[in-house]
Amino acid sequence: MLNINQLLAITTLLTLTACAKNPVTGRQELHFVSTDKEIKMGLENYQYGQQASGGQYAVDPELTAYVQEVGQKLAKNSDRPDLPFEFVVLNDSVPNAWALPGGKIAVNRGLLTHLENEAELAAVLGHEITHAAARHGAKAMERQIIMSTGLVAANVAIAATHKVTDPAYKDKALAASAAVATGLISTKYSREAELEADSYGMDYMVKAGYSPEGAVSLQQTFVKLMDKKSPNWVEGLFASHPPSQERASTNQKRALKMPQDLMLGKERYTQKTAKLKQHKAAYEAYDDGVKAYKKEEYAQALTLVNQAITVVPEEALFYGLQGDVFTKQDHKDKAMNAYQTAISKNPNYFYYYHQRGLLYEKMGKKTEAKADLDKAQKWLPTETAAAALKKLA
């Protein structure tokens, strides 16, 4: 139950809040997260969200360029084309996609391997664009703030800033910002929000020249996978975007009223994702290697990750796991070489610096350890790195 101070804070907040039209639905609603704040929130949390989801998929930059191209085509046909939309592919096998306020959107490589054509990709991106354009993430945050901690929490959450000068508060501020990012990307949308995202996303698809059949086949696939309780899907896309037969049927009825002679883009999608799908077995071996590592089956983990490296030697993620295994086996020099290889192949992911920094600490190389851990903390703060830095201070 809210205390008197929280109730007073909420009353003050609502008194100062203006009613405004939703830019997509046109409905009147309370707004206390402005467009500027939406954009700022997305910008400040986009990096944390990416780092928490495997970092950017760097092996095939042409795939990311392709997703960006399709995404921008849809964004231009949305109800908020002036938002600074961005699209990235993340290096994560879990099938998922998410949108932050302000139009910052990500799709995991694990989802792309399951799509059949460009229209299905457009359906995924159109859905996420609608979440951003219709303020679904911002509204979820507004509701959470009102129901939980009132005006003070609103100011903290909306600011989500880590520009703190006092060293004593630096790690706490970073951790708070990362927690906000994690909450935003894992927001579970309401039934109404999901139906809105499907509906307006299909409108954006059609305006961009894509067949609405892509949205129909996509939802039908999701319902089948949900019925089978496929583990990766349940922990990924379905956790925040629960599918249903209602959504599949609604999409089908809506598609019947739309133009039917538009692009599916199967051949183009097949061509653009050929490298990704060719490498799928290597990433499956890596994922199995991670499972073996967690079970402390280090020899098996090393065998599996070495198989993955043989197929995709340019993938930094694999060397990161290799370094973890060597660290557990107390092969410090081999572990160091593995982390350095990972960094040379992808210097923009926190984890390799985090792990190398911890290894440097074990080796008594304090200066190198601090440099790596500081770098890792700026990209994605962790309690482990914070504790290590405190010991190194």
Joined tokens for residue 271: 């061509």
What per-residue confidence (pLDDT) applies to 325? 98
Q: How far apart (Å, rounded) are the C-alpha atoms in residues 213 and 249?
A: 12
Q: How far apart (Å, rounded) are the C-alpha atoms in residues 68 and 62?
A: 10
**Residues whose CB is less than 8 angstroms from the CB of residue 239 and which lie 6 or more positions away in sequence, other chains included:** 186, 188
pLDDT in tens, 180-194: 555 555 566 777 888
Neighbours of 199 (CB within 10 A): 18
Cβ atoms of 166 and 107 closer than 8 Å: no
Cα–Cα distances (Å) from 372 to 122, 313, 320, 349, 375, in that order, read 39, 24, 15, 12, 5
Average pLDDT over residues 161-182: 45
Residue 9 has pLDDT above 70, yes or no: no
Which region among 38-42, 291-295, 381-385 has the lowest average model confidence (pLDDT)?
38-42
pLDDT in tens, 343-385: 999 999 999 999 999 999 999 999 999 999 999 999 999 999 9
What per-residue confidence (pLDDT) applies to 191? 79
What per-residue confidence (pLDDT) applies to 158? 35
Q: What's the burial of 383, exposed, middle or buried (CB within 10 Å: 0-12/13-18/19+)?
A: exposed
Q: Which of 158-167, 194-203, 235-244, 366-375 has the highest mean pLDDT?
A: 366-375
CA angle 8, 10, 14 (to 5 degrees): 120
pLDDT in tens, 195-233: 888 999 999 999 999 999 999 999 988 888 776 666 665
Amino acid at 202: M
**Residues whose CB is less than 8 angstroms from the CB of residue 334 and which lie 6 or more positions away in sequence, other chains included:** 326
Structural domains of the chain in order of their starting residue, each with its CATH number: 1-276 (no CATH), 278-392 (1.25.40.10)
Q: How far apart (Å, rounded) are the C-alpha atoms in residues 41 and 245?
A: 33
The band of 243, judged by pLDDT with boundaries at 50, 70 and 90, is: confident
Residue 31 has pLDDT above 90, yes or no: no
Cβ atoms of 381 and 171 closer than 8 Å: yes
